[in-house]
Amino acid sequence: MVPLATWIAWPNLPATGTPSPLFDGSSVYPATTLPFQPQSMGPAIEIPARISHVQIVDLDGDSHPEILACDALAHRLLSYKRSADGEWIEHQISSDMATPAHATVVDIDNDGDLDILVAILGNTFPDDSHVGRVLLLERNGDRYLRHVLLEGTRRIADIQAGDLDGDGDLDLAVAEFGYARGRVLWLENLGQRRFRDHQLLYAPGTINVPLADLDGDGDLDIIANVSQDDEEIWGFENTGGGRFKKRLLHKWLNFDIGGSGMITADLDKDGDTDLLVTVGDNLEYAYTYPQPYHGCFWFENTGEWSFTVHRISTLGGAHAASVTDLDGDGDNDVVLVSMFNAWHHDESASLVWLENDGHQQFTHWQIASEPTHLVTVATGDLDRDGRPDIVAGGWHVIPPFRRLGGVSTWLSGSGDRK
């Protein structure tokens, strides 16, 4: 009887044991004690947004900062301006722009107002055809006139402006990301909105081309973050007269590392320009997971084109960085966003700040776990209270599609500043 009953019941016996704990690779940090007030800009998000770039800038010169955002889903450039009653009002600066990737605000024609250079990707998804453009939105009173400065190129990810050949006008550095093929260019300003393109590097996947006087010789050099077939940081030393010497500053042989962004900043306040590089891109996967090598590197400028590389963060899926003194203690802190944390877990960090102890030793503090999929971040005093605020943009092309956000701000409050 007993064996028969056991035999009959055997396939239907429930499993009631305790499973072994699951692996957890998500990046979660202690909650910050700095007070922040989160807010979403614009209408409520119904459709997964694709904000490719945000920045804080006083576009109209009225001493009230605005947020400038590239909306790569609706193909438009937006600004958010605070009204007298404290409401943020959305303005469309330009539309029908074929996937704007990055906007650079600069007085390109030296007429006293701020124009906008827009890097046109042409296609969000991998594409090697000539769909990229360098667009100029020339400010003319309250309007912007659109000019194409360069076309017939592959996808353009970044444009920066500066006098690169020492002739007094503004030239451009351009990241032609492409896909399997791409280049780093500089565009020589010939006047009357004509620019002659010069190739500096033939390599696909350049994300950023910031300008800085890296060697302290008084002119602007170009730095390029290349992240496709190779994962490399290149410097182009300005040797005068529109000539550049190519220097490989760093390379990772781990080409899964996923270079995602680079900014310049004097992080240690020693008077030279350092680099901050985020790694954490995983776009080749339909579903992503943070990797142990993701995070942020500080490239400490030690002079003579040499850099000491310090890993300062392990934030999974890190995608962008901004430097500011967030806690008001006189040193530079770092704000990071994540695009690819373990979003199945509600507590995974999307926005963190790294508290600097004054000796570039950093402690992670979590500011937010939503919205998820943040790819761009900027800091600045949005509400003119003397404290830096944070703005970030969400890029939702990979599931899960919940805890969505477009342009979001975190205004710093006046409570305990740790």
Partner 1 sequence: MRRRRLILLTVLLGIDVVFFGWCILERTSRPAPPRPPAEGIVDSETARDFQRLWVLAENPGPADMLALGQAYAVYGFFPEADQCLQRAIALRPEAAANWFWSGLVLNRLGQTARSTERLLEAARLDPDRVDECRYIAARNHLRDDSLAKAEDEVRQIGPDHLAGQYLLAYLMVHTDRSAEAMPILDRLIARFAQVHRLYQLRARAEELLGDDEAARRDRETAERVPESIATDAVADHLGEKSYEFGLERRIVAAGRLNTPGNLDALANELTTILSISYRPRIARLLASIELRRGRSDAAVTLLKQLIRRDGATSDTLIELGLAMDAAEQDLTQVLLVFQQALQYQLDPEICRLMSPFVKDSAANVDRLEALQKHAEGLQAFRENRLDQAVTLFEAAAPVAHQRQAESNFFLGECLWHLDRREAALEAYRRCLELRPHHGRAADRIGYVDQIEQVDRKGEG
If we measure between CA atoms, which residue out of 257, 261, 253 comes closest to residue 277?
Answer: 261
Kindly tell me which residue out of 28, 45, 74, 114 binds partner 1, with binding defined by CB under 8 A. 74
Sign of the dihedral defined by the CA atoms of residues 308, 157, 269, 32, in that order: negative
Least separation in angstroms between CB 138 and partner 1: 18
How far is it, in rounded angstroms, from Cα 187 to Cα 198? 6
How far is it, in rounded angstroms, from Cα 319 to Cα 157? 14
Least separation in angstroms between CB 272 and partner 1: 28
Site for partner 1 in 278-317 (CB under 8 A): 284-293
- 69 half-sphere exposure, CB direction, 13 A CA radius: 31
Q: Which stretch binds partner 1 (CB under 8 A): 120-128, 213-221, 302-310, 365-373?
A: 120-128
Least separation in angstroms between CB 208 and partner 1: 21
Backbone dihedral angles phi then psi of residue 323, each to the nearest 5 degrees? -115, 130
Contact between 276 and 299 under an 8 Å Cβ cutoff? The reply is: yes
Token representation of residue 135: 């667009």
Q: Does 18 bind partner 1 (CB under 8 A)?
A: yes
Token representation of residue 25: 């690779």
Least separation in angstroms between CB 265 and partner 1: 26
- 213 half-sphere exposure, CB direction, 13 A CA radius: 9
Kindly tell me which residue out of 28, 57, 98, 309 binds partner 1, with binding defined by CB under 8 A. 98
How far is it, in rounded angstroms, from Cα 11 to Cα 132? 61
Least separation in angstroms between CB 218 and partner 1: 26
Least separation in angstroms between CB 25 and partner 1: 6
Taking phi first (over 0 means left), then psi (-120 to 50 degrees means alpha), and beta for anything else, what does residue 163 get? beta
Instruction: State the residue for tokens 């019941």.
Output: 9
Contacts of 63 (CB under 8 A, 6+ apart): none
Site for partner 1 in 29-58 (CB under 8 A): 47-48, 50
Q: Which stretch binds partner 1 (CB under 8 A): 57-65, 139-147, 199-207, 362-370?
A: 199-207
Q: Does 197 bind partner 1 (CB under 8 A)?
A: yes
Site for partner 1 in 334-393 (CB under 8 A): 344-345
Least separation in angstroms between CB 271 and partner 1: 32
Residue placing its CB nearer to partner 1 in the complex, 67 or 226:
226
Q: Which stretch binds partner 1 (CB under 8 A): 30-38, 103-111, 135-143, 197-205?
A: 197-205
Residue placing its CB nearer to partner 1 in the complex, 17 or 30:
17
Residue placing its CB nearer to partner 1 in the complex, 78 or 265:
78
- With b meaning 16 or more CB within 10 Å and e meaning fewer, what string describes 331-369? bbbbbbbbbbbbbeeeebbbbbbbbbeeebebebbbbbb
Contacts of 253 (CB under 8 A, 6+ apart): none
The residues that bridge with 364 in the sheet, in sequence order, are: 354
Q: Does 3 bind partner 1 (CB under 8 A)?
A: yes
Least separation in angstroms between CB 55 and partner 1: 22
Contact between 282 and 295 under an 8 Å Cβ cutoff? The reply is: no
Q: Which stretch binds partner 1 (CB under 8 A): 1-9, 105-113, 135-143, 208-216?
A: 1-9
Least separation in angstroms between CB 20 and partner 1: 7
Contacts of 190 (CB under 8 A, 6+ apart): 196
Q: Which stretch binds partner 1 (CB under 8 A): 62-70, 93-101, 303-311, 353-361?
A: 93-101
Q: Does 241 bind partner 1 (CB under 8 A)?
A: no
Q: Which stretch binds partner 1 (CB under 8 A): 191-199, 205-213, 233-241, 266-274?
A: 191-199
Task: State the amino acid at position 9 in one-letter form.
Answer: A
Site for partner 1 in 245-274 (CB under 8 A): 251, 253-257
Kindly tell me which residue out of 240, 303, 358, 399 binds partner 1, with binding defined by CB under 8 A. 399
Kindly tell me which residue out of 33, 402, 415, 418 binds partner 1, with binding defined by CB under 8 A. 402
Kindly tell me which residue out of 194, 243, 384, 418 binds partner 1, with binding defined by CB under 8 A. 194
How far is it, in rounded angstroms, from Cα 84 to Cα 213? 40
